[in-house]
Amino acid sequence: MVQVMTLIVIKRRHQVLNNMKENRDYVFLENTESNLCSIKLLTGKYAGVVYTYGRVSIVEDKSADRARLQFQFEVKICPNNFNKRHLSEDKLFMNYIGDLLSHILEKNEFKIGKKSGSAT
């Protein structure tokens, strides 16, 4: 299991990410291996990629008036035009899923894990 951690400066995202919508551009998938949901990208350069976020945290730098979104992720499935190792090292992909994570958090779509109190 390969997990990669990256730091993303929270900033104003591209217009494309601001207009992303669940069930059109990405979907949440139940992950049978853990209690974390996976995400499948449906549109854009990375369409068909399925990945799971791991630990997520926000690190503040008050002196620079900046915050970084720190997260782990694992690529589960990728289309033929990519391979898991390449995506795990691709800075553009990491920025893209970091921006998507920020978008999900800002939209209050806290669905990355199963509901609290769930027996499964």
How many structural domains does the chain have? 1
Answer whether residue 43 shows pLDDT above 90: yes
The range of the structural domain enclosing residue 51 comes to 4-106
Burial class (CB in 10 A: 0-12, 13-18, 19+), 48: middle
Within-domain flag for 99 = yes
Burial 4-16 (b: 16+ CB within 10 A, else e): bebebebeebeee
Q: Which amino acid is at 39?
A: I
Residue 80 within a domain: yes
How high is the pLDDT of residue 17? Answer: 65
Question: Is residue 41 included in any domain, yes or no?
Answer: yes
Q: Is residue 112 part of a domain?
A: no
The pTM of the full predicted model, rounded to 2 decimals, is 0.74
Question: Which of 5, 4, 19 shows the shortest CA–CA distance to 103?
Answer: 19
**27 within domain boundaries:** yes
pLDDT at position 118: 44
- Greater pLDDT, 38 or 64: 38
Name every residue whose Cβ is closer than 8 Å to that of residue 91 and which is 6 or more positions away in sequence: none
Neighbours of 97 (CB within 10 A): 24
pLDDT bin (cut points 50, 70, 90) of residue 12 is very low
Rounded CA gap, 6 and 4, in Å? Answer: 7
- φ/ψ of 70, rounded to 5, equals -110, 130
Judge whether residue 62 has pLDDT over 80.
yes
The answer to whether position 120 is within a domain reads no
DSSP code of residue 91? H
Give domain status of residue 111, yes or no: no
User: Are the beta carbons of 59 and 68 closer than 8 angstroms?
Assistant: yes
